[in-house]
Amino acid sequence: MTVTRTSRPTLPLADRAAGLVGSVIDSSTSLLAGQTHDVVRLAMGSPAREAIPAAALAEVAPEAIGAGAADAFDYAATEGDPALREALLEMLEGTSDATTPERLTITAGGMQGLDLANKLFTDPGDLVAVESPTYTNASATALSYRARLLEVPVD
Summarised one tens digit per residue, pLDDT across range 59-85 is 988 887 776 566 777 777 788 888 899
The pLDDT score that the predictor gives to residue 129 is: 95
Query: Greater confidence, 145 or 46?
Result: 145
Whole-number Cα distances in Å, 72 to 81, 110, 151? 12, 21, 40
| Per-residue CA distances from 77 to 74, 84, 98 (Å) | 9, 11, 22
Predicted confidence (pLDDT) per residue in 23-45, tens digit: 766 676 677 767 777 766 665 66
pLDDT at 7 over 90: no
136: pLDDT confidence band, cut at 50, 70 and 90?
A: confident
What pLDDT is stored for residue 91 in this prediction?
Answer: 95
Which of 24, 22, 21 has the alpha carbon at shortest distance from 135?
A: 24
Instruction: Please count the CA atoms within 13 angstroms of the CA of 36 that sit on its side-chain side.
Output: 0
So what's the pLDDT on residue 5?
65
